[in-house]
Amino acid sequence: MSSTYTTIEICAGAGGQALGLEQAGFHHSYLVEIENAACCTLKLNRPTWNVIEADVRSFSANMLSNIDLLAGGVPCPPFSVAGKQMGQEDERDLFPEMIRLAGECLPRAIMIENVKGLMSNKFDSYRNHIEDEFEKLGYRGVWKLVNSSDFGVSQLRPRAIFVAFLDDYLDYFSWPQRIINPPTIGELLFEEMSSNGWKESDSWKAKACQIAPTLVGGSKKHGGPDLGPTRARKAWAVLGVNGSSLANEAPDADFTGMPKLTVKMAALVQGFPSNWEFYGKKTAAYRQVGNAFPPPVAREIGKSIISALKRENKNPWQHQRNRVLELNFETTS
């Protein structure tokens, strides 16, 4: 097998998953994204990436071959507890498009990311349906609920992940283990918070001594750039952050009260590197941040997928159909 591992990614957004997979060792053949601002962000940070601005329903993979991974963070609203949870009845459900594309190009592996709500009992039958459709194409898959903070991300952000493989590759796949304790919000954001000489930054850092709640927001139907509904804002207030909106810049030297996050700070909470830029004004930029898949999580799962494609370590245990790891923690998404 080639030492270059190729991907097609749909619903690429601002590049959280794409960046993580790049760090894992994948080369992106195509990144498909419908939102212009997100496409501009991808091109701004990675001019060499092949970004296709289009509705994935109009994208065909029939002429593509030798693809190692088909990946995508398909839209979350059909499964989010913050919405109506209409699932497959929601027109935004793009799992059928992932299945179609897999049938067209037969990648060796598949990785799909979504919200925790997809793992609820309400969607047991739909998860089974998804597995059935992939099995018809020759894939065996496994689900897991992954906590982003296990991979150094300074928030809980649980994500539902489905990974599937052709041939016997699943027998060589292991979920990545916890790799690092995440920094507190104070540790993570201190440099940014103090960048304008804020005199109270040290005391703020001491108060912001925990990781953040799940960063929410980013919906087109949501009014503007804030850190979510009342419950989320209260959790941010415990960390000394005003979640009612976002700031254009860090606090100045004489600022008093609770500071607001900037778009850059929110991106750091998502696990983006500090040099990753977001195209557009504050609301459009924050929408991209709020919808992102944390790059460190994508990186570690991507490494495990490559290890399986190399058939490096066969697992002593058998993957079971619809195997789900349930984690007991709260989330607003």
Q: For residue 123, is pLDDT > 90?
A: no
Does a structural domain hold residue 327?
A: no
Range of the domain at 24: 5-180+293-309
Do 174 and 196 belong together in one domain? no
41 and 141 in a single domain? The answer is: yes
Residue 83's pLDDT is 45
Q: What is the mean pLDDT of residues 308-315?
A: 89
pTM for this structure?
Answer: 0.89
Q: Is the pLDDT of residue 88 over 50?
A: no
Q: Is the pLDDT of residue 330 over 70?
A: no
Order of all β-strands in the sheet with 158-165 = 51-53, 26-33, 5-10, 69-72, 109-115, 158-165, 140-147
Task: Name the pLDDT band for 2 (thresholds 50, 70, 90).
Answer: low
Verify that 132 and 12 share a domain, yes or no: yes
Q: How far apart are CA 157 and CA 241, in angstroms?
A: 18
Q: First vs last Cα of the chain: how many Å apart? A: 39
Nearest by Cα to 27 from 72, 67, 64, 54: 67
Mean pLDDT check: name the lowest of 39-53, 88-102, 247-261, 315-329: 315-329
* Average pLDDT score over residue span 158-170: 93
The answer to whether 93 and 85 are in contact (CB under 8 A) is no
Same domain, 210 and 167: no
Calculate mean pLDDT across residues 169-180: 90
What average pLDDT does the chain have? 87
CB 19 within 8 A of CB 274: no
Same domain, 165 and 251: no
- Report the pLDDT value the prediction gives residue 135, as an integer from 0 to 100: 95
Answer whether 65's CB lies under 8 Å from 46's CB: no
52 within a domain of the structure (yes/no): yes
Same domain, 23 and 114: yes
State the residue for tokens 């897999």: 102
Residues 142 and 78 in one domain: yes
Q: Does any domain span residue 326?
A: no
Of 11, 39, 40, 76, which residue is the catalytic one?
A: 76
- 144 and 278 co-located in one domain: no
Question: Which residues have C-beta within 8 Å of that of residue 223, sequence separation ≥ 6?
Answer: none
Same domain, 29 and 63: yes
SS3 for 71? strand
In the chain, the number of structural domains is 2
The tens digit of pLDDT for each residue in 36-84 reads: 999 999 999 999 999 999 999 999 999 888 999 999 987 654 444 444 4
- The reply to whether 78 falls in a domain is yes
C-alpha to C-alpha distance for 57 and 258, rounded to whole angstroms: 44
Q: pLDDT of 262-305, one tens digit each?
A: 999 999 999 999 999 999 999 899 999 998 999 999 999 999 99
| pLDDT value at 329 more than 70 | no
- The CATH number of the domain holding residue 169 is 3.40.50.150
Helix, strand, coil % (nearest 5) of the chain? 35, 15, 50
User: Is 166 found in the same domain as 38?
Assistant: yes
Residues near 105 by Cβ (< 8 Å), separated by ≥ 6? 8, 61, 62, 64, 65, 67, 70
In Å, how far from its chain's centre is CA 154? Answer: 14
Q: Which residues of 152-174 are buried (b: 16+ CB within 10 A; e: fewer)?
A: bbbbbbbbbbbbbbbeebbbbbe
Instruction: Tell me, yes or no, whether 297 and 286 share the same domain.
Output: no
Domain-embedded: residue 325:
no
Cα pseudo-dihedral 7, 286, 179, 308, rounded to 10 = -10
Mean pLDDT of 172-180: 88
In a domain, 71, yes or no: yes
**57 found inside a domain:** yes
Residue 81 lies in a domain: yes
Question: In this structure, are 81 and 28 located in the same domain?
Answer: yes
**Beta carbons within 8 Å of 121's beta carbon, 6+ residues apart:** none
Active site residue 76: yes
